[in-house]
Amino acid sequence: MAAEAAPITLGAVELRDRLATGALKAEELVTLCLNRIAVREGQVQAWAWLDGDYALEQARQRDAQRAAGLPLGALHGLPVALKDIIDTVRMPTENGCALDKGRTPARDAFVVERLKSAGAVILGKTVTTELAFMHPGPTRNPHNPDHTPGGSSQGSAAAVADGMVPLAVGTQTGGSVIRPASFCGITGFKPSFGAIPRRGVLMQSPTLDTVGVFAADPTGAALLAEILFGHDAADSATELAPFPRLLDTARSAPPLAPVFAFVRPPGWDSADPETHAGFAELVEALGDQVFPVDLPALFDEAADIRARINFAEMARCYHRYARDGLHLLGPETQEALAKGNAILARDYIAALDWRGVLNAALSEVFARCDAILCPAAPGPAPKGLGWTGDAIFNGLWTLCGTPAVTLPLLTAENGLPMGVQLVGPVGGDARLLRSAHWLDRWASDTNDISRKDTP
């Protein structure tokens, strides 16, 4: 492979620092991204919209600002990819749906405004499953194109994993950040519910939808997420409060080595034997820093409760799609809308109470540990592109609104990555990222855990 088409291998924080000093120009970095995409996109198919000339135009503007001595943003010159359900002026936002073909918003989403203010280069829009649900797009797993990259933020995860772009933004309603990050072998971070405003992002489930980020490592995820945290009056899930210093905290040394609670979540018994073996090895290697915890039986109902909320709210939010062209939607989407329309109001309202109940039970666990340790997915990415994989190990934490991060610490026998998921209490995003950074560095310093390089 030509050197100019090599993947981006430096972490986002190091790239940011080189851009700030002028050791690396934004135009040079964007050119590297575009060259990589030119070589690999035919196989990976991560991008829904890409205009190289526009990306280079943004990069030259960032370089001119730095050369002129103007103030630099926290992401100055860093390319960022956006899931194609996030509104962008000038760029189409088609939501992975034939009914939105050609749609170009008149206003940027909140997160896009934040990215531009921070000096980021919006590289392009990445593939999403149809309406961010389960009908797959064309994206393939960068490690093996015969396997799914996961969903629904499949293009964002695949683009970062393949070294096409250092950072990307996605969303999670079930497992749409953590699962594709696990399958593609990168860091995915789903913050606490309400931490990142959702104005201008396709709304599927107001109770569950959460904006998340993708990076090569926890510090890159912290760098990007910190810029996106905030309050927006248009999103009632957000609060007017100081946001945490995610990057500084993530890079800081914990006062004591983190302690993890190993949880076998509902669905554990049906997980891949390689997942069982990998976590047995990991728990043994961590020794006294991990202890097992069994969740109460009520957690067994969480998957059904989350689905009930998701389907009911999806039927409401996607009513116009069902009205204007139900037959144009994929079978998975049609089935979900039908289920949502059949849910009784009393059952939906009762389901909304579960977040508080589950978090009350989790508070006893978090009182004894820094983070919960559990699988990010039942196993490596399944073979085939017709299914994006099982979100059984993600939906519970989305329902609870707790922050979660996955690290690519395990590798299956077929060479595909398997993620290790850490979960923290609501609002404990910074501490969770610090624990994740610690675990990532610990794993890189030990031979006990196998890792997988970028393809």
The per-residue pLDDT for range 140-186, each reduced to its tens digit, is 999 999 999 999 999 999 999 999 999 999 999 999 999 999 999 99
- In angstroms and rounded to an integer, the radius of gyration of the C-alpha atoms of the chain is 20
Q: Which pLDDT score, from 0 to 100, does residue 352 have? A: 98
Apex 390 CA angle, 386 and 391, nearest 5: 130
What are the pLDDT digits (tens) for 184-202? 999 999 999 999 999 999 9
Q: Which pLDDT score, from 0 to 100, does residue 245 have? A: 97
49 and 124 in contact (C-beta within 8 Å)? yes
Catalytic residues: 83, 152, 176
Separation in Å, CA 26 to CA 99, 155, 390: 36, 23, 38
Separation in Å, CA 213 to CA 111, 144, 210, 360: 11, 23, 10, 27
Q: Would you state the torsion angle of the CA atoms of residues 386, 392, 398, 404, taken in this order, to the nearest 10 degrees?
A: -100
Burial class of 359 by CB neighbour count within 10 A (0 to 12, 13 to 18, 19+): middle
Residues in the chain: 455
Separation in Å, CA 135 to CA 266, 333, 364, 417: 25, 7, 38, 23
Q: Which pLDDT score, from 0 to 100, does residue 450 have? A: 47
Distance between CA 107 and CA 94 in Å, rounded?
14
What are the pLDDT digits (tens) for 255-297? 999 999 999 999 999 999 999 999 999 999 999 999 999 999 9
Domains (ranges, CATH) in the chain? 3-250 (3.90.1300.10), 251-296+355-383+390-428 (no CATH), 302-351 (no CATH)
Q: What type of residue sits at position 260?
A: F
Residues of the chain where predicted confidence (pLDDT) is lower than 70: 1-4, 447-455
Q: Which pLDDT score, from 0 to 100, does residue 446 have? A: 85
111 and 197 in contact (C-beta within 8 Å)? yes
Q: Which pLDDT score, from 0 to 100, does residue 172 have? A: 98
**Residue found under tokens 């669905």:** 267
Q: Would you state the torsion angle of the CA atoms of residues 318, 319, 323, 327, taken in this order, to the nearest 10 degrees?
A: 40
Distance between CA 201 and CA 151 in Å, rounded?
16
Q: Which pLDDT score, from 0 to 100, does residue 3 have? A: 54
Separation in Å, CA 246 to CA 170, 243, 363: 18, 9, 22
φ and ψ at 137, to 5 degrees? Answer: -90, -170
409 and 377 in contact (C-beta within 8 Å)? no
Angle in degrees, 0-180, between the axes of helices 429-444 and 218-228, rounded to the nearest 10:
160
Q: Which pLDDT score, from 0 to 100, does residue 453 have? A: 40
Buried-state track 95-108, b at ≥16 Cβ within 10 A, e below 16: bbbebbeeeebeeb
Q: Which pLDDT score, from 0 to 100, does residue 276 have? A: 98
Q: Which pLDDT score, from 0 to 100, does residue 455 have? A: 38
- Counting Cα atoms < 13 Å in the Cβ hemisphere of 106 gives 0
Start-to-end CA distance of the chain, whole Å, equals: 12
Burial class of 41 by CB neighbour count within 10 A (0 to 12, 13 to 18, 19+): middle
List the beta bridge partners of residue 58. none
Q: Which pLDDT score, from 0 to 100, does residue 226 have? A: 98
395 and 144 in contact (C-beta within 8 Å)? no
Distance between CA 318 and CA 202 in Å, rounded?
10
